[in-house]
Amino acid sequence: MNARRKRLKIGVLFGGRSAEHEVSVVSAQGVMGAIDTGRFQPVPIGVTRQGTWLTPAQTEQALDRIRSERLKSLDEPLGDGILYRVQALASLRRVDAVFPLIHGTNGEDGTLQGLLELVGVPYVGAGVAASALGMDKALQKTFFRHHNFPVADDVQLLASQWRNDRQGVAAGAEAIIGYPAFVKPANSGSSIGTSKARSREDLEEAIAEAFRYDRKVLVERAIDGREVEVAVLGNDEPEASPVGEITYHAEFYDYHAKYEDNTTQLHVPADIPETASERARELAIAAYKAIDCAGLARVDFFYARDGSLVLNEVNTIPGFTPMSMYPKLWEHAGLSYRDLISRLIELALERHSEKGRGL
């Protein structure tokens, strides 16, 4: 018998239709470059910007083009997308576990997780319900508020109400939230469609902009504070990393500050009082457990000027490049990027063994 343990095939699922396609490509390259190849064999499965699933062989070719031609996204293959999709989906059955690295809609909102449940393959990260709650900021805010987590006040709007009575809807939100206010689509990420409003005119523009991305929009009280984040890792007994802080030169942490401005900095650990970081870590674990997360999540807070912490959001598929906050926080705690990847796969297998086998 072969003394060497059989290597597990790990489908690394990345790309996708969201604005975070490029980050996802970098995360996948990071994971495939660092994964412990003594134990795991990475199998790349890319999804193009148009939503076409590529087979592992096509994904390898597209990755070669990304490397040689310095492209930032996966090429759309010529020919019949539907046929590729069937072949690509079949590849999900030939792997031992999947590491989903697709952000946003159809990646971290529970739909992909539902597909993986149907296929019956173990996967890294949150299940269907936690993914759905993590993605939908409206449901998430309501849920956390009802569980007494400190969250910013908000008003939630529907596109149908807005179409019928723009003035009334804006006046209602203004009366409850006041200024400055943050306006954002319920289902979005990377700050896309998010703006800060200081006047009624701003507010109406911001609401119209946010409705370009979703049928639900949040108008939130602006919190005057610093942005701190905690990485949580584990299944039923999750652990919290040290706290990190993000600083940027912009009015808020917008798309440009997130991905294009090299003056944006991640600080690990955050320079905040010990009591505040302990509280952030406790709240992060409590939020993670409350929505029944698994594997990993990054939990983001505002550390307000008065010293209080406000829970902003839980990200179930956080940026996962070697330079991203989530891996950096664990690295600071002594867990290398490589070991973090191994641990996440182990957690996926553990979670899978606790449930039924799918179809």
151 and 308 in contact (C-beta within 8 Å)? no
> Applying CB under 6 A, which of residues 27, 59, 140, 194 lies at the interface with ligand ADP?
194
DSSP output for 232-296: EEESSS-EEEEEEEEE-SSSSS-HHHHHT-TT-EEESS--S-HHHHHHHHHHHHHHHHHTT--EE
Interactions with ligand ADP, residue window 166-185 (CB under 6 A) = 182, 184
| Residue 37: CB minimum distance to ligand ADP, A | 33
266 and 191 in contact (C-beta within 8 Å)? no
- Region near ligand ADP per CB under 6 A, out of 20-28, 93-101, 203-211, 214-222: 214-222
| Residue 52: CB minimum distance to ligand ADP, A | 25
Binding mask 220-239 for ligand ADP (x = CB under 6 A): xxxx---x------------
State which residue, 52 or 191, has the beta carbon closest to ligand ADP.
191
| Residue 198: CB minimum distance to ligand ADP, A | 13
- Report the 10 Å Cβ neighbour count for 33: 12
193 and 19 in contact (C-beta within 8 Å)? no
| Residue 257: CB minimum distance to ligand ADP, A | 8
d(CA 287, CA 281): 10
140 and 132 in contact (C-beta within 8 Å)? no
| Residue 146: CB minimum distance to ligand ADP, A | 18
Q: Does 189 bind ligand ADP (CB under 6 A)?
A: yes
310 and 301 in contact (C-beta within 8 Å)? yes
Interactions with ligand ADP, residue window 303-322 (CB under 6 A) = 312-313
State which residue, 225 or 269, has the beta carbon closest to ligand ADP.
225
d(CA 344, CA 152): 31
Q: Enumerate binding residues for ligand ADP (CB under 6 A).
A: 152, 182, 184, 188-191, 194, 220-223, 227, 252-253, 300, 312-313
